[in-house]
Amino acid sequence: MAMFVHLTPAANAPRVRRSGIRAISHGRDDSLPRGLYCFPVLPSYTLTHQWLRELSRRSGPRGLVAVHIRLPDDEPVTLGRYHRDPATVTAAEAVRRVAALPDPRGWEVFVPRAVTRREVHRIRAVSQVTGWRYFPDSNGKVPCTCFGCRVRGEYGSQRLRQRRPHPLDGPPPASAVLVRRIAAAGSPGDPEQLIQILHWFGMRRRGPVDQLAHLADHPDPKVRRALVWAVENWSSRGTTELLHRLAQDPDATVREAVEQAAPEPRS
């Protein structure tokens, strides 16, 4: 029998003892049914529970426990590193391959089925500071604060963004600062400068619609289109009227931007 460890919130422990581990995760191979992720039990405690800190970053109940499960040696599973296509092997072969790796960090085993109560060997507490976060060897590397990399609401994310603002994804300057920049741009104002300012406004949920409305008459359609993208998701009073006004714009690209605005504008 091959021994693996599955990390799950401590709140799930009573259910696991009662009925096993449910198959709720999707594997990297779309042809497989739902199942669960696990990792072989190795002599190294740190490597065995290496995924704990990364999994703890996700939303949900706090505190993880280690569920040790025994699977038949010939049980079909998939094995691979998290950013590569997995290979289908037996459970015993997965343990052998991982144990032979010089650096098994980032590897994972997927079992394409649920685990029964009889296959649960034991449930134990585990140190909550074990393993890596983000990716192996992430320590010492400057974290990226772009929209694609950062996790909204993650502990310390706001402080990190303020310390290392992204040139395109912010955090944006205060609304009052942006309004002053628009005023300083003059009339009608440099299009590139105004588009950059509107880019920052587009990261907000509300804003001073009345102080941006005059840009709907800017001679450059790129500015008017950027205005649509900036306010399309705002909930501020007057947003709907401004978008209706831009929907009658003589430039087709501006009208198209209004039509594609989502979700529906709210007043």
Q: What is the pLDDT along the chain (267 residues), one digit of tens a residue?
A: 999 999 999 999 999 999 999 999 999 888 899 999 999 999 999 999 999 999 988 777 889 999 999 999 999 999 999 989 999 999 999 999 999 999 999 999 999 999 999 999 999 999 998 999 888 988 777 878 887 777 766 767 778 888 888 888 888 889 999 999 999 998 899 999 999 999 999 989 899 999 999 999 999 999 999 999 999 999 999 999 999 999 999 999 999 999 988 554 444
Three-state helix/strand/coil letters over the chain: CEEEEEEEEHHHHHHHHHHCECCCECCCCCCCCCEEEEEECCCCHHHHCCCHHHHHCCCCCCCEEEEEEEECCCCEEEEEECCCCCEEEEHHHHHHHHHHCCCCCCEEEEECCCECHHHEEEEEECCCCCCCCCCCCCCCCCCCCCCCCCCCCCCCHHHHHHHCCECCCECCCCHHHHHHHHHHCCCCCCHHHHHHHHHHHCCCCCCCHHHHHHHHHCCCHHHHHHHHHHHCCCCCCCHHHHHHHHCCCCCHHHHHHHHCCCCCCCC
pTM for this entry = 0.64
